Amino acid sequence: MLTRRGLLTQVSRIGGVGALAGTMHALGLYGTGAAQAFSPPPPGSGKGRSVIILGAGIAGLVSAHELEQAGFSVTLIEARTRVGGRAWTVRDGDRIEMIGEETQIARFSDGIYFNAGPARLPSFHEGMLGYARRFGVPLEVEVNSSRSAYLLGADGSRLRMRTAINDMRGHLSELLAKAVDQGALDTMLSADDKERLRPFLNFYGDLDTDGSFRGTIRSGFRTGPGAGVSSFETAMPPQPLHALLANDQMPMTLFEEMIFMQATMFQPVGGMDGIARGIARNVQGPIRLNAEVRRIRQRERGVEVHYADREGGAIRSVQGDYLICTIPFPVLAKIDADFPLPVAKAIAGVVYDQANKVAFEAPRFWEREQIYGGISWVGGETAMIWYPSAGLHGERGMILGCYSSGERAAAFARRPIADQIAAARAAIDRVHPGHGADCANPIAVNWSKIAHSLGPWPNWHPGAPPSMGEARIDTPEYRLLSEPIGRIYLAGAALSQTPGWQEGALQSAQATVMAIGKAAAEHAVTERAEGAPGRHRHEGETG
C-alpha cells in the first residue's frame, strides 16, 4: 500500500521541491502561512517536555524564554562566544574574525561602540520594542534621516538633503500647477478638485502667487535671520530641475518614506545587543556558548544533537523531545543532519545576500555641518555614510563610511580589507573634505565571511530587481522549510516576511513556540493512549 509519506517521497524524486510543495499543499499539509497574534502555550503545559534550541540569536532566545514560561525544559546551544547572533555590538578589545582574513581587534575609546549588524528598530516593530520594555532595556531615538546630510553626485558635487527634497517638490508643483491652469487635467479633475488642488500646490511647492517656483527657505538659507530689521533670511536660488534629475542619488530622498525607515526609529542605549542580553538574562536553562553543532539526528520520539566544545574539543550530546534550529541555512547545509532529501536540497539551495560595514572612530566633524544622525548617500560600492545618533555633542563618535548590500557589496567584499577601509575613508573625504584623515581605528565587517552566519539574510528572489521594501516571499522552498520536519522546527528571520529584521526572527520564534505547544499537546494524548512517558533532556559526553 502506498502511504502518504511514500507518495511524497516519489513526488519529490520525480518533480523536485516545487512538485513536493504543490502536493503537500493539495493534501492540506501546509499551514496557512498568515501572520497571527502570539498565543503562547498555557503555563505548565510543557512540564516534562524538553526542547533543544540551536542558535542563541533573537529567534533562539525568544523561543527559549517563551517555552520556559510554558514549563518546557530548554537547552540553548550557540557556536559563538556571545548571544545575539546578527545583533552584534563591537566594543573596545573585541575580535573580528572573518574567513580568509586576518583578525581585527577593536581599539575604541570609552563609550564608543559599533553595531556590526542591525542598528535600528522601527516604531511598528512592537515585538522587539515590547521585549526591550519587558526586560528593562533602555531605548533612545535613532535619528535615521537628517535634512542636513548630503547626496553626492557622480561629478563630486554635494547637495543637502533638504535642498534636494524641497527643490524637487517646488519644480514638480510648478509643473502640475501649470497643467491645471492650462486645462490639461480637466478630464481627470472636477471643478471642485481643481479649486482645492491649486492652493495646495502653492503651499506644497512654496510657489509664488503666479504659480512659479523661484526657491524656498525650506531648502536652506542663503543668508540666515539675525538681529534688527536689516537681517532677514533669504533663500538659496533653486537647483535646476535637470540638475536634480541628473543626480543618481535622488531616489534616496524617498528612503525615509519606506515604512521600515519612517520616524520614529529606536536603538538600545549602549548597543543593539542589549535586547539579546536582556532576554538571555531571563532564560533559566543552560546556554552552551562556544559549542559547535556537528550532528543532528531525529529519533522515534525525540531528537539528538552532538556538538563540540570549541575550547576543550570534547564532543557532547544532548537529547530532547523537540528541536528548534535557527542556524543560518548556509551553515546548516554543512552540518551532518538526517533531513529528508528534499529538505536538505532546499536548505542547500537558499542563496544569502551580501552586506558590508566599515566603521571609524572620529571627532564629530559632521556635527559642525549640522548633521546629527542620519545618512549621506554617496553611491558606488560604499553606498552611504551613516552618522551616529548616540552621544550627540560628545568629543568622538562612530561613523560608518560604508554600508552596502547586494551585487556591489559582493564586489566590495572581494577587495583586501585595507582597500575596503581606504575606499570608505575616501567616501567620507569626498563628502567632508579633509576629514578622511580624522577617521581612525577602522573596522571592516563582510557578513559573507562571518563563520557562523555566512551572509546577512537570505535572498529568496535572486536575480530580481532591487526593491526599497521587503519582497513577498512564497517560494516552494520557503514553504517547505517553514513546515516541521518531524520533531525538528526551523526558525529565524530567514523564515519570516522580513528576513533582514530582528522582528522577523521574533515572529518566527513565536510561531514555532505555538507549533511546539500544539504538537506537545497532541503527543501527550497519543502517549497516554500508548502508556509511554515523555522524554526528559539528557546530556552526555561521547568522546
Domain stop point among 449, 471, 494:
449
pLDDT for 463 equals: 79
13: in domain: no
Please state, in angstroms and rounded to a whole number, the distance separating the CA atoms of residues 482 and 462. 19
Residue 524 sits in a domain whose CATH number is 3.50.50.60
Whether 499 and 532 map to the same domain: the answer is yes
CA distances for 177 relative to 166, 167, 189, 238, 463, angstroms:
16, 15, 13, 18, 40
Which run of H or E residues covers position 171? helix 161-181
79 and 93: one domain? no
Give the span between the Cα atoms of 7 and 317, in whole angstroms.
34
Strands in 310-372 per DSSP E: 315-320, 322-325, 336-337, 355-363
Please, are residues 322 and 520 in contact by the beta-carbon 8 Å criterion? yes
Helix (H) or strand (E) holding 180: helix 161-181
DSSP 461: S
Identify the domain boundary among 418, 449, 480.
Answer: 449
Chain centre to alpha carbon of residue 186: 46
AA letter at 148: S
Which residues of the chain carry a pLDDT beneath 50?
A: 1-34, 468, 543
> Residue 176 falls within a domain, yes or no?
yes
Assess whether 104 and 58 both reside in one domain.
Answer: no
Q: Are 330 and 454 a contacting pair, CB within 8 Å? A: yes
pTM of the model: 0.89
DSSP state of 84: B
Q: Are 287 and 236 within one domain?
A: no
Q: What is the pLDDT of residue 29?
A: 39
pLDDT value of residue 466: 59
The pLDDT, as a whole number, for residue 339 is 98
Are 266 and 501 in contact by the 8 Å Cβ rule? The answer is: no
Looking at the structure of the chain, the number of domains it has is 3
User: How far is Cα 305 from Cα 295, in angstroms, rounded to an integer?
Assistant: 6
- 392 lies in some domain: yes
Which of 429, 449, 469 is the last residue before a domain boundary?
449
Q: What is the CATH number of the domain that holds 440?
A: 3.90.660.10
Same domain, 371 and 336: no
Statement to judge: residues 141 and 185 lie in one domain: no
Residue 297 falls inside a structural domain: yes
3-state SS track over 289-313? CCEEEEEEEEECCEEEEEEEECCCC
Q: 341-349 vs 4-26: helix axis angle to the nearest 10?
A: 40
Query: Is 196 within the bounds of a domain?
Result: yes
Give the pLDDT score at 234.
81
Tell me, what's the pLDDT at 533?
56
> Do 318 and 437 share a structural domain?
no
437 burial level (CB within 10 Å; 0-12, 13-18, 19+): exposed
In the DSSP assignment, the letter for residue 485 is: B
Shared domain for 193 and 139, answered yes or no, is no
Residue 181 sits in a domain of what CATH number?
A: 1.20.1440.240
Local structure of residue 436 (DSSP, 8 states): G
Return the amino acid letter for 534: G
- pLDDT score of 464: 76
Give the orientation angle of helix 58-69 with respect to helix 273-280, to 10 degrees: 30
- In total, the chain counts a number of residues equal to 543
Does one domain contain both 331 and 468? yes
The domain containing residue 167 runs over which residues? 161-240
Cβ count near 392 (within 10 Å): 13
Does any domain span residue 427? yes
Selection from 314, 309, 312 nearest residue 289 by Cα: 309
177-213 burial: b if 16+ Cβ within 10 Å, else e = beebeeeeeeeebeeeeeeebeeebbeebbbeeebeb
- Does 368 share its domain with 434? yes
List phi, psi (to 5°) of 505: -65, -45
Q: Is residue 517 part of a domain?
A: yes
Q: Tell me, what DSSP letter sits at residue 377?
A: E
In a domain, 360, yes or no: yes
Q: Do 368 and 439 fall within a single domain?
A: yes
Q: Are 108 and 45 contained in the same domain?
A: no
